[in-house]
Amino acid sequence: MRPWIDRKVLIKEAKDFVRRNGYFLRQNAHRISSLVEVAVYNSIVEYYRTRGFMLEARNLGPKKSFRYKVSSTGLTRNFSYFRATEPTTGAVVCIFHNTRIQSAHHAHLYYTPDVAVCDEDGNVTERLKSGRDHSYIVNAHLLTFAEVKHLPPFPEALFSFTGLVQEFMPGFIAGTIVLHPDEVHLSPILVFTGVSSEHNEKIRTELGKRYGINIVFGTQKSHGQIANFDELRKYVVAAVKKGAAKAPDEVIIESRRLLRESVESFPD
C-alpha cells in the first residue's frame, strides 16, 4: 500500500525545489518581504472581488503603474487605490493602504492603519491652517480597517487592538454592531505574520467572541490570502453606528443578544 507521505520522496522533492528556485528566492528575498506587507491589502481587495464587486484601479502613475503607498506620509492623490463597485446595488467601496483614518470621538485625532476601507465619499484631502494638505478617511464613512504586525502574536498587541477599535469603530466594543456571515463588510482585522502560542490562541478566541473583531495569525494563510474568507467575521453596516446618535437601550440590548448568537455560530 502506497504510504501517505513518502518521506524520502518528499525530502528529495523539497531539495529539487530549492535547487530550481533557490536562486530566484535568494535574489528576491527583499521583494518577497514587501509582498508580505502587500498581502493584507491584496486579501481585502480580493475579498471584495470574490463578493462580486467590480474593481477599478484609481490614481495610476506613469505607464499605468499601480503605486502602492509604503509609508504613512503622503497625500492620497499621489498613490493608487482600488475602487470596488457592487454591480446590482451600485454600492462603492474604496480600499486604501497606509491612509489616515479619523477618530470616532474627536474630529482631529487620527491613526494610520495598514489598510482602510471606506465608502465612495470617505477619503478627503483638506488644507490645514499651516497651509499643508492632509488626507484622511472621514470616520462616518469608514467601513473597516486592518492593522498588520510583522511579529508573532503577543498579548499586549492583541489587547491593544481593542483600544484602536474603541477609538475608530467603537460600536464593536459597545456591542451595538451585529455580525452576520452573509454580510459584506469585514469586521476590523488584526493580522500577525508570525506563529502563535497557546495562550495567544485563547486571547484571540476570547476577543473575537467578545467584540466580533478578526484576529488572524500567520498560519492561517490560504491561497495567498491572509485567511479563508469564510473564517472572517462580517457585520451589518447599520444606521446606528460610530459617530451617529446613541442607540436606544432596547436596540443595544437586542444587538448584543444577536451578537452573542452570531459569534457562537463562528468556528472558533
Partner 1 sequence: MKHEDSIPGVDTKSVIVALTDGIGVPLGRAARSSYFELIRRLAGNERFNRLDPTGRQQVADVLALSIFYGQVVAPLESGRSLLRLAHGAQAQEVRIGRDKLSKKFSDRIGGCVAAFQRILRAQRIPKEVLSFAKLDNFINNVMSAREKAKRETLD
Return d(Cα 15, Cα 259) in angstroms, integer: 49
Cβ 118 vs Cβ 96: under 8 Å: yes
Would you count residue 177 as binding partner 1 (CB under 8 A)? no
Return the range that interacts with partner 1 (CB under 8 A); candidates 132-140, 180-188, 190-198, 254-262: 190-198
Would you count residue 253 as binding partner 1 (CB under 8 A)? no
Would you count residue 53 as binding partner 1 (CB under 8 A)? no
Return the range that interacts with partner 1 (CB under 8 A); candidates 25-33, 140-148, 181-189, 244-252: 25-33
> Rounded to the nearest whole angstrom, what is the least distance from the CB of residue 111 to partner 1 in the complex?
22
Among 43, 102, 144, 176, binds partner 1 (CB under 8 A): 43
Between 57 and 96, how does the x/- string for binding to partner 1 read (CB under 8 A)? Answer: x--xx-xxxxxx-x---------x-x--------------
Positive or negative torsion for Cα 104, 246, 232, 219: positive
Instruction: Quote the strand ranges of 89-238, DSSP E.
Output: 92-97, 101-102, 110-111, 115-119, 123-127, 133-137, 142-149, 185-186, 189-192, 214-216, 234-235
Return the range that interacts with partner 1 (CB under 8 A); candidates 56-64, 112-120, 127-135, 141-149: 56-64
Query: Nearest Cα to 224, choosing from 15, 29, 24, 40?
Result: 40
Would you count residue 218 as binding partner 1 (CB under 8 A)? yes
Return d(Cα 114, Cα 103) in angstroms, integer: 16
